Amino acid sequence: MLSDKLQKSLNDQITHELYSAYLYLSMSAHFEAANLPGMARWMRVQAGEEQAHGFKFFDYVNERTGASRCRPFPSRRLTLARPRPSSSRCSSTSRM
């Protein structure tokens, strides 16, 4: 059995992990819209990792007869800047 203080801390951590996953997924959508598929894929992978962390805490609490609480995410506005256009040309210089 978990103490009330530990259970609250673990539930807070679950919220933080899942909120981080949500933010990474939002960034993935942003990069996808900006035609940056590599960055979008990377952010999606990060979202999956954060989600896995949250589920590990969730399972840990439940396995110890605790009560996992899914709390709402903090109300914050996420604003992502438009990425700068990249040059389609590659420049290379060779030095001798």
CATH number of the structural domain spanning residue 42: 1.20.1260.10
Six token digits for residue 63: 């396995």
pLDDT in tens, the chain (96 residues): 889 899 999 999 999 999 999 999 999 999 999 999 999 999 999 999 999 999 999 999 999 877 787 777 777 666 666 666 555 444 444 444
77 is a domain residue: no
How many domains in the chain? 1
- pTM for this structure? 0.73
83 is a domain residue: no
Rounded CA separation 5/95 (Å): 63
**Which domain range does residue 53 map to?**
4-63
12 is a domain residue: yes
74 is a domain residue: no
What lies within 8 Å, CB to CB, of 1 at 6+ separation is 64, 65, 66
57 is a domain residue: yes
pLDDT in the model for residue 72: 76
For the chain, what is the mean pLDDT?
A: 83
93 is a domain residue: no
